[in-house]
Amino acid sequence: MAFADHPTARRSERSLLHRLYSAYGQEAVILVAMVALFVIVGLINPRFLSPENLNTIFSGNAYIAVAAIGMAMIIITGHIDVSVGALIGVLATISGTLAVAGYPVWVAWLVPILVGMAVNALVGAMVAYARIPSIVVTLGMLSILRGGLISVTGGTWISNLPADFLIAQKRLFDIPVPLVAMVVLTLLAAAWMRYFPFGRSLYALGGNPEAAVATGIPAERRIVAVFVIHGFFAGLATILFATQLQVIQSTVPPNLELTIITASVIGGVSILGGSGTVIGSTLAAILFATIGSALIFTNVSAYWLRAVIGLLILATVLADMLRRRRTR
């Protein structure tokens, strides 16, 4: 159980693996799977472990992990956002347009983050106060963003991006910036969820909204807040996404929202709300990228990636349902 976070829980005499699983559950399983994958594929094809490939796996997919942090929070609270892929597409276009138009790079980085938060504040308000199910609100938002983006840009590419705008290609202490961002943001968010009353209230709302409200948790304000935070992470993910190549494609990356939701769910976030961690979602995002790369390096058609991920989703949700049956 992801909740067993107090030392007294660990004092009892249990095996290391059992302890790992009960304290970190799905997260530990994913970590073990990922390490095993690196070892096995590395033995088959040593080039899999080359610095270039590792950089592709980690840095190239860090934006998915960062977006999945916010998504994990949303799902833990008992909601969902299917518009995040479209939002990232729109924000990337805004960011690139500002950069090309000659605004300072910090403006090109900051504006999409603020817009992401504003858009999601609106979504959160409709979910919290108008009490429209989040799947409906975000489906609507998905259409608006996707349709609006294509109408405005006509699907053109933004190129000639200034070099200092491309932060995802830089290094900090010789470590790629996306990797640093992914690790730091994941740890900060994990601490936020685990050590702060705010995080705890999200688990309570996702676990049993009625009881949470009866206990005095201000549900509406928390829902708006968690959507705004999710918008913040979507903004950060956008920056990593938009600055990793020399061009920005002014369309919505296909299936991005599904990849992000899937990362959260495979990372152990219960799709019914109330449990899971952001560490799990980050690990799962990297696991996908690792699987995708492993398929290429073992000469298996990359089309299998989707199928493998699909199997993982079903297995994870099944495990979650079995676990729930035990607690109910």
Partner 1 sequence: MPGTTDAFISLTGATKSFNGITVLKNVDFDVRPGEVHALLGENGAGKSTLIKIISGLYTPDGGTIRIQGETVSFSSTRDASKRGIATVYQELLLFPELTIAENIFLGAYPKSNWGGIDWDTVRERSRALLDSLDSAELDVDTKVARLSVAQRQRVEIAKALSRDARVLIMDEPTASLAEADVQRLMDVVRALRARGVAIIYVSHRMPEIFALADRVTVLRDGALIGTKEIGEVTEASLVAMMVGRSIDQLFPKPEPIIGDVLLEVEGLRCGRLVRDMTFSVRRGEILGIAGLVGSGRTETALTLFGITPAEAGTIRIDGKTVTIRSPKEARDLGIAYVPEDRGQQGLVKAMTIRQNVSMATIDRLSRGLFIRFADEAARAVEAVKRFGIRARGGIEQPVGQLSGGNQQKVVIAKWLETAPRILILDEPTRGVDVGAKSEIHAIIGELARTGVAIVMISSELPEVLGMSDRVLVMNNGHLVTILDRAEATAESVGAAMTVAKNRKDAA
Task: Tell me the site size for partner 1, rule CB under 8 A.
Answer: 32
Name which position in 217, 258, 308, 319 contacts partner 1 (CB under 8 A).
Answer: 217
Name which position in 212, 242, 269, 286 contacts partner 1 (CB under 8 A).
Answer: 212
Nearer to partner 1, 100 or 319 (CB): 319
Q: How far is the CB of 210 from partner 1 (least distance, A)?
A: 5
Residue 214 contacts partner 1 per CB under 8 A? yes
Kindly identify the residues of this chain, within the stretch 9-68, that bind partner 1 according to CB under 8 A: 9
Q: Which of 204, 227, 191 is nearest to 70 (CA)?
A: 227
Name which position in 126, 145, 167, 204 contacts partner 1 (CB under 8 A).
Answer: 204
Give whole-number Cα distances, 129 to 34, 78, 109, 140, 231, in Å: 41, 15, 31, 17, 18
Nearer to partner 1, 193 or 248 (CB): 193
3 state DSSP class of 202: helix
Nearer to partner 1, 4 or 245 (CB): 4
> Interface with partner 1 by CB under 8 A: which range of 88-96, 132-140, 173-181, 215-223?
215-223
Q: Cα–Cα distance between 90 and 242 in angstroms, integer? A: 11
Residue the block writes with tokens 């010789």: 174
235 neighbors 114 (Cβ within 8 angstroms): yes
Nearer to partner 1, 257 or 320 (CB): 320
> Interface with partner 1 by CB under 8 A: which range of 115-123, 161-169, 216-224, 232-240?
216-224
> Interface with partner 1 by CB under 8 A: which range of 39-47, 69-77, 237-245, 319-327?
319-327
47 neighbors 297 (Cβ within 8 angstroms): yes
The tokens for 70 are 């916010």
Is the Cα torsion angle 245, 247, 252, 253 positive or negative in sign?
A: negative
Nearer to partner 1, 3 or 103 (CB): 3
Q: How far is the CB of 198 from partner 1 (least distance, A)?
A: 8
Nearer to partner 1, 10 or 47 (CB): 10
Residue the block writes with tokens 């990362």: 263
Q: How far is the CB of 269 from partner 1 (least distance, A)?
A: 12
Kindly identify the residues of this chain, within the stretch 241-300, that bind partner 1 according to CB under 8 A: 274-275
Q: How far is the CB of 204 from partner 1 (least distance, A)?
A: 5
Nearer to partner 1, 131 or 326 (CB): 326
Give whole-number Cα distances, 19 to 12, 16, 97, 119, 281, in Å: 9, 5, 50, 41, 20
| One-letter amino acid for residue 298 of the chain | T
Nearer to partner 1, 276 or 292 (CB): 276
Structural element, H or E, at residue 249: strand 248-249
> Interface with partner 1 by CB under 8 A: which range of 6-14, 71-79, 106-114, 281-289?
6-14
Phi and psi at residue 172, to the nearest 5°: -120, 120
Name which position in 218, 253, 258, 319 contacts partner 1 (CB under 8 A).
Answer: 218
Q: Cα–Cα distance between 71 and 49 in angstroms, integer? A: 30
3 state DSSP class of 157: strand
Q: Cα–Cα distance between 115 and 56 in angstroms, integer? A: 29
Other Cβ atoms less than 10 A from the Cβ of 295: the count is 17
> Interface with partner 1 by CB under 8 A: which range of 53-61, 164-172, 179-187, 190-198?
190-198
3-state helix, strand, coil in the chain (%, to 5): 75, 0, 25
Nearer to partner 1, 59 or 201 (CB): 201
Chain residues in the site for partner 1 (CB under 8 A):
1, 3-6, 8-9, 195-198, 200-201, 203-204, 207-208, 210-218, 274-275, 324, 326-328
